[in-house]
């Protein structure tokens, strides 16, 4: 089975990366953060089901920084999802 990468997944997701000119150089952490901020349910299902390890690792890095771009509501939502899935 050919597993899709996050880079491949985001190529058709212009609504998430609406002001980034070149999305080909984004890190997994940046992709996870942007999906959390501008997601659709299909995006979130893909992260949780298919990319859970990448989501867990990068989400922990995102929220541990002194400057986090996620607001309290987004953090609470993701924490709830991760604790129940």
pLDDT of residue 68: 92
For residue 16, being part of any structural domain is answered with yes
Give me the domain span that covers residue 67. 6-84
DSSP 8-state assignment for residue 3: P
- Report percent pLDDT > 70 for the chain: 98
What the block records as the tokens of 12 is 């058709």
Q: Residue 4: left if φ>0, alpha if ψ -120 to 50, beta else—which one?
A: beta
For residue 1, being part of any structural domain is answered with no
Number of separate domains in the chain: 1
pLDDT tier at 11 (50, 70, 90 boundaries)? confident
For residue 69, being part of any structural domain is answered with yes
**Is the model's pLDDT at 62 over the cut of 80?**
yes
How far apart are alpha carbons 83 and 69 in whole angstroms? 21
């Amino acid at each position: 089975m050919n597993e899709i990468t996050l880079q491949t997944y985001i190529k058709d997701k212009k609504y998430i990366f609406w002001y980034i000119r070149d999305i080909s150089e984004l890190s997994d952490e940046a992709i996870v953060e942007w999906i959390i901020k501008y997601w659709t349910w299909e995006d979130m299902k893909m992260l949780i089901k298919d990319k859970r390890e990448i989501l867990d690792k990068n989400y922990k890095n995102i929220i541990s920084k002194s400057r986090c771009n996620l607001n309290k509501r987004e953090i609470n939502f993701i924490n709830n999802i991760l604790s129940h899935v």
